[in-house]
Amino acid sequence: MSAGQGKSTTHVSFVCQKCSQPVKLNRTLDPKSLLELAKDVESKLSLEWSGEEETARQSSDRRESSAADPHTAEAIAADDKTPPLPRSSPQTRTRHRVKSSVETLSVIYDSLPPLSETGAAGSRQDSKSTLKQIQIASETFKLLSSVSDVDHPLCTDCPEAVIEAYREEIVEEEEAKHRYKQMSARLEQEVTEYKIQMPELDRELEQLQQEEEKLKEKLRNTERKRSEIAAELERQRERERRLKEEEQTYWENFNEYQRQVLQFREEQRSVDYQLQYMTEQLERLKKTNVLNSAFHIWHNGHFGTINGLRLGRLQTVPVEWSEINAALGQAALLLVTLARNAGATFVRYKVVPYGNQTFVDVIEGKKKSQHLPLYSSAGLRIFADSKFDLGLVAYLDCLNQLKQHIEISSGSRFALPYSISKDRIGNGKEFYSVKTQFNTLEGWTKALKFVLTNLRWALTYISANSMQPE
């Protein structure tokens, strides 16, 4: 709604709750009287509803109090033969009570001329009075809407549609009333027929009750048997479940045993193959000279070789000192290995194999704890490395001790091909010194070749006689 005011025009507009068209409030109708009318209608309806509820309560009390009196009950039953009319709800009664008010109030929403035509006094009305009238009208419409199913305000044409809807509803209510009457008459007829058939029905009911008791007893017996059968069935199912589990476990164990048998057979075949292979390897190793395979002594022209390393040096073939040092390391390792296998112990010296850095320790005498190297890089000069020469002499002395030990252990049945005397080695006719000082390359190379030859003979003897270490 809206309100406007001025010196010439003032009007109030509302919206119709049915068709949503704007309507104007008729200024000739006082909203206060309209509000009083609505409140009067509401109070009358409230009184009427409370009166009807009291009447219904008294009727109910009367029926309850007369239930013990047969004559009173028959009188009430006779009165009740008249089919009761359908009781309308408070909302339905409100619709009929408010219908006349709707017809009266709907005419106030007509298009009226501006307020200036009614007189100058209306146009000069105070704005607060106008707003108060609007508020009163709004409260009136809310009150009317709360006591009926029709929302207010309404325009001039909409009440006809509302009244037509109420008429249709009244027709439907009349039809329902007629149906209720027909239903009541049919029920009364059925009650009369039932009273006539009552004795026979009572006898039949008694027979049916007896039969029901018999059937109930039979049902209880059947239920008891069914419970026993169900319990037995459950026991059998449990037994079946256990048997299935045992069967499953049996087959799982059987399969596991089968797998283990196959695995053991495979392992047995594998062990048999390994045993056969190891036996063949053992036979081959029994025929194999381990020391000869580990230390292969041979010759390469004027040079003696051990594991392919040349030992010696010539003017025409200047062998690198790194190769000579490595060959001396292999020869020292072979000498120590042969002495351990033969059970020989060196005195005065101790050979320490250390690859191309092999040396000999002096363990007796004035030069005790002195290291004599079996490696050099100085080459042959007039004054060669004295310690290197001393190391070669010490190595030759240890080889001579091994030779003496083998001759004693063999009962003089075995002797090395080349004899040793201090720093010299030879075959009785010619001797060559192992020193590099005051020596020729050819003589030094021959002496080293004789040393390797003695080592090969000692290796062959010790391997053939299977001498074990201590």
Calculated CA dihedral for residues 177, 182, 185, 187, nearest 10 degrees: -100
How many Cβ atoms are within 10 Å of 201's Cβ, its own excluded? 12
Confidence (pLDDT) at 436: 84
Confidence (pLDDT) at 227: 94
Q: Convert the pLDDT of each residue in 288-328 to its tens digit.
A: 777 777 888 888 888 889 988 998 888 888 888 899 999 99
Confidence (pLDDT) at 115: 39
Residue in 463, 468, 430 with CA at minimum distance from that of residue 343: 468
Query: How does strand 359-362 pair with strand 349-352?
Result: antiparallel
Confidence (pLDDT) at 66: 46
What sign does the dihedral 339-345-351-355 (CA atoms) show?
positive
Contact between residue 351 and residue 360 where contact means Cβ atoms under 8 Å apart = yes
**Continuous H helices in 300-440:** 321-342, 386-409
Q: How buried is residue 193: exposed, middle or buried, by Cβ count under 10 Å (0-12/13-18/19+)?
A: exposed
Confidence (pLDDT) at 199: 84
Contact between residue 312 and residue 324 where contact means Cβ atoms under 8 Å apart = yes
Residue in 367, 385, 363, 366 with CA at minimum distance from that of residue 376: 385
CA distance 96 to 444: 151
Token pair 């001790």 is found at: 401
Contact between residue 448 and residue 311 where contact means Cβ atoms under 8 Å apart = yes
Confidence (pLDDT) at 114: 41
Confidence (pLDDT) at 189: 87
Confidence (pLDDT) at 363: 86
Confidence (pLDDT) at 239: 94
CA distance 298 to 324: 15
Residue in 9, 199, 181 with CA at minimum distance from that of residue 81: 181
Domains in the chain: ranges and CATH: 2-196 (no CATH), 292-465 (1.10.418.40)
How many Cβ atoms are within 10 Å of 318's Cβ, its own excluded? 10
The whole model's pTM is what? 0.41
CA distance 373 to 391: 5
CA distance 12 to 23: 9
Confidence (pLDDT) at 45: 55
CA distance 5 to 19: 27
Q: Convert the pLDDT of each residue in 119-144 to its tens digit.
A: 444 444 555 666 666 666 677 777 76
Confidence (pLDDT) at 88: 45
Confidence (pLDDT) at 18: 72
CA distance 354 to 363: 18
Residue in 189, 96, 121, 433 with CA at minimum distance from that of residue 197: 189
Given a cut of 70, the residues of the chain with pLDDT beneath it are 1-13, 24-42, 44-137, 144, 147-149, 378-385, 466-470
Three-state secondary structure readout of 5-57: CCCCCCEEEEECCCCCCEEECCCCCCHHHHHHHHHHHHHHHHHHHHHHHHHHH
What one-character-per-residue DSSP string does 360-384 give? EEE-SSTTTT-EEES---S---TT-
